Chain A
């Protein structure tokens, strides 16, 4: 089993799926000659050529909309939107078209497309540092994946490409260099499965994407103090596999929900509502949420760090729910 980076895992999934299925192609800004803004698609143009690795104009709306049409008419597009901030310009094509064409025409058309994009930050200030997974996860008809490990990124992207439904696949720029074990033999992982990434008895910590890594680090440190966190990863945000979350909570009676979203109407609020609805009687302490501060992200390094959540906030929240 090789230890590879998250970036390599995504690239491996893309390459394997393109070799496997002639219908799979990539389109997006700078995916070809440049090799991908985050170097994910480097080398793909050489192997697959311009027909299948298509540089587009800076036209987020038609990138997403043309992917919908191409998917309806038999292809398996993997459309890349450079960052999820720019995906706001694609939103109509995703919400009003990708998510609708199957249902609204009575099941006559399918939309097997993947929209790959990134969350992340790094002194990029207000308009380049956001994370909008809840915008997409709110929409019936879409599937939304936000993997937190190389293995999940690989296995879930392959499943997303093969799935007959539209999938929004959000990578995290801070995870691209994270290394993890990915089996050498080809495999896929099922969409819509939550997973206990670290078992524990004291507090349930639900996290995904970069916050999964932060939660695992927090759990390591808390373990030295005798506190055992059960870290539940939700790499698929929609459809949500609720059962592992509820089962864990029924064991620990306490939960911390960690996300990079702003406080207010985020993924965390939905998870909390589901826990209240399904396991109210097990509640021993109010659920704590670890989120970004609800401000536009500032440029200054010091202010930016203050705005974003991480390992320390998770540790504090765990201690709070145990108090």
Chain B
């Protein structure tokens, strides 16, 4: 058993296996992202690819503080959250490859991973849009009398548009069971927080909605876990939403092909010295976890990631019929717009 100390005292006691599973998730996320970047360079992944490298502690700390039946709603930098939620690396990688075996059957891609069976409601790619959906998902549970809560992730950039205001306000007015997690990674695409937001400590915006908020070190998985546990206790007790600003940093560009003119190499290196995985590794070693156990985790993850890449590469693309499937759940039989012209021809 490992006791985790905070400034307030003992946070919690964990068995070693639990903490090692978090470590494993963080490694898995990083390795999946590195392999995704490589696959992108080889042309196996198209479109936009937003990597979560550097931010792993946020998703892992937060999602491990919740119940498996709580709802997760994410922005488009969603690979880490998907993996931390337990989506198989195979299903994630296959989706990046645009394959039929992907978690969204090759229809969504990097920005739209989802798994309904895990109440992982998906990654959304219109900045802030997922906040309104999260309010609605939480409303449905409140309405039905469930004690599930909804955690919604968004970036610092999302806090400057209308979705943020309207969703934060509605959630507070209706006391919806939502944990808002702002992943403040210092830039909205290439625009620094201080150039885009009148308030640079994002958590202060929550006071406009009378929502309790705190700002935490998003590079410390234990601190993230502790904050989201506090949030979950508050929200599940029926008090309404809670806001967590996790200060973090992405090492890679906004997406692949970002020239990164907006920041210096020194800055990236400075953040890399506070790497969330290294930090957690030091903690585990100090707590007496033998190095060889950590190394065996790395080896295991390596196998899983290589297997995922192989699986994605070998999987078939979606069949041609998939193009027309799922536009509607209840499709009209004779919609002239949904039929190829030769079929739509009337007698």
Contacts and interface: CB of A to CB of B under 8 A. Distances in A.
A96 B330 contact: no
A93 B114 contact: no
B170 A240 contact: no
Which of A56, A66, A110, A277 counts the most B-chain CB atoms under 10 A from its CB?
A: A66
Interface stretch (A37-45, A68-76, A227-235): A68-76
B304 to A, nearest CB: 23
A163 interface: yes
A96 B76 CA distance: 13
Contact of B133 (A69, A104, A107, A192): A69
A114 interface: no
B286 to A, nearest CB: 42
Interface in A130-167: 140-141, 143, 163-165
Given A69-B135, A105-B107, A140 B338 contact: yes
Contacts of A70: 136-137, 139-140, 143
A106 B71 CA distance: 19
B196 interface: no
A102 interface: yes
State the main secondary structure of chain A at its contact with B.
Answer: mixed
B216 interface: no
A141 B325 CA distance: 11
Contacts of B335: 192, 238-240
Contacts of A267: none
A222 interface: no
A165 B328 contact: yes
Nearest to A105: B114
B108 interface: yes
A246 interface: yes
B25 interface: no
A69 B170 contact: no
A243 B326 contact: no
B240 interface: no
B137 A105 contact: no
B133 A75 contact: no
Contact of B332 (A54, A59, A101, A191): A191
A75 B143 contact: yes
A60 B71 CA distance: 24
Given A62-B163, A104-B107, A141 B129 contact: no
B133 A103 contact: no
A296 interface: no
Nearest to A193: B332
Interface string B84-109: 00000000000000000011111110
Given A164-B329, A239-B338, A69 B122 contact: no
B169 A102 contact: no
A59 B166 contact: yes
A96 B124 CA distance: 9
B268 interface: no
B104 A106 contact: yes
B38 interface: no
Contact of B326 (A51, A61, A89, A106): A106
B136 A140 contact: no
Interface in A45-70: 51, 54, 56-57, 59, 61-62, 64-70
A97 interface: yes
Contacts of B73: 69
B69 to A, nearest CB: 12
Given A62-B170, A93-B132, A240-B337, A104 B104 contact: yes
B124 to A, nearest CB: 7
Given A57-B173, A62-B170, A104-B108, A92 B334 contact: no
Given A107-B105, A165-B328, A66 B129 contact: no
Interface string B145-161: 00000000000000000
A141 B104 contact: no
Interface residues of B, number: 54
Contacts, number: 171
Could you say which interface size class chain A belongs to? 35 or more
B327 interface: yes
Interface in A70-114: 70-75, 77, 89, 92-93, 96-97, 101-110, 112
Contact of A108 (B115, B131, B137): B115
A141 B337 CA distance: 11
Interface in B297-327: 325-327
A192 B132 CA distance: 29
A74 B336 CA distance: 30
A161 to B, nearest CB: 13
B167 interface: yes
A107 B71 CA distance: 18
A110 B114 contact: no
Contacts of A65: 129, 131-133, 135-136, 163, 166-167
B334 to A, nearest CB: 7
A278 interface: yes
Contacts of A69: 73, 121, 132-140
A127 interface: no
B35 interface: no
A71 B104 contact: no
A263 interface: no
Nearest to A162: B330
Interface in B44-87: 71, 73
12 contacts: A59-B170, A64-B132, A67-B136, A70-B140, A72-B137, A72-B140, A92-B126, A102-B329, A104-B104, A107-B105, A192-B335, A242-B346
Given A75-B144, A107-B105, 9 more contacts: A57-B173, A62-B167, A64-B132, A68-B136, A69-B137, A72-B140, A73-B137, A105-B112, A105-B116
Interface of B: 71, 73, 102-108, 112, 114-116, 121-122, 124, 126, 129, 131-141, 143-144, 162-163, 166-167, 169-170, 173-174, 325-330, 332, 334-338, 341, 345-346
